[in-house]
Structure 1
Amino acid sequence: TDTLGNMLEGVVHGADVQDRDGAPDLIERSCDAYPTLTRLYADGGYAGQKLETAVAHIDRLTIEIIRRSDLTGFVVLPRRRGVERTLAWLSRCRRLVKDWEASIASSEAWMLVSSIRRMTRRIAKLEL
């Protein structure tokens, strides 16, 4: 997502693929589609040498890993709110709440439809 919570790219994988292993494909697609993309934020699950080596050839890209603090209790993690907010907006479409689709391409398409729905509703509110 961008800083406004708009979905830029999305990739759906099977349950046997970890997010960290699927991330390089998503990053490649995002960098190709958005040549001005220079910074990515990821949570601690993406930390490690595997992701860094996969995207090392993209010189303009800086990846910042947002790690949990050791403090007890509720602590707001910077930049994570935007992603969680976007996922909550997408989950308002009933079709995305459970995995009803027979193919990965169909799941990706419905994720895009949900994002388009949210954008058109946002535009319609601005024109009132």
Structure 2
Amino acid sequence: MDLGLWPRVRKVYGDWGYRGLRGFLEALGLELEVVAHPYAGVRGVWVREGEEVPELPRVEGFKPLPKRWVVERTFAWLGRNRRLSKDYEQHPSVSEAWLYLGMLRLLVKRLARAA
């Protein structure tokens, strides 16, 4: 995989399900930070055979996860654009272009408000 398009990328944030990619990303020179709830599910914790069950305190109420909250908020901002609310495009490059336009619109609106 060529990372020439993103030379400044050093860290990748992933959900709990992407833990298995840690070795692959390290081979590319990237660091994986897993963003997960302080507890793993409502019914209990899944562990592999032979592993010890961790002591996980339950947290009452809503508690946003630090990095995941930023990603979800960004997706919500992009979802306000009618064209980005659903994935209509057949080619990934067209979807990418619409994402750039959506973020550009958001940034221009912020700059106009600040001026």
With normalisation by structure 1, the TM-score equals: 0.62
Identity of aligned residues (%): 36
How far apart are residue 36 of structure 1 and its match?
3.6
Whole-Å Cα distance in 1 between the matches of residues 90 and 6 of structure 2? Answer: 30
Show structure 1 runs of 5+ residues with no match. Answer: 1-24
Asked whether 1:107 is paired with 2:95, we answer yes
Paired position in structure 2 for 1:69: 38
The counterpart of 1:45, out of the listed 12, 17, 38, is 17
Determine helix, strand or coil for the equivalent of 2:64: coil
Show structure 2 runs of 5+ residues with no match. Answer: 40-57
How far apart are residue 46 of structure 1 and its match?
1.4
Are the equivalent residues in 1 in contact too, given 2:22–2:31 (CA < 8 A)? no
Aligned residues: 96
Determine helix, strand or coil for the equivalent of 1:79: helix
Paired position in structure 2 for 1:90: 78
Q: Deviations over 1:43-82 (max 9, x none)?
A: 212111xx223222233x3211011222254232121111
Are the equivalent residues in 1 in contact too, given 2:78–2:103 (CA < 8 A)? yes
Amino acid at match of 1:87: F
Larger Rg: 2
Higher RCO (CA-CA < 8 Å; seq separation 6+): 1
Paired position in structure 1 for 2:42: none
Instruction: Please identify runs of 4+ aligned residues in structure 1 that moved more than 6 A.
Output: none
Are the equivalent residues in 1 in contact too, given 2:37–2:65 (CA < 8 A)? yes
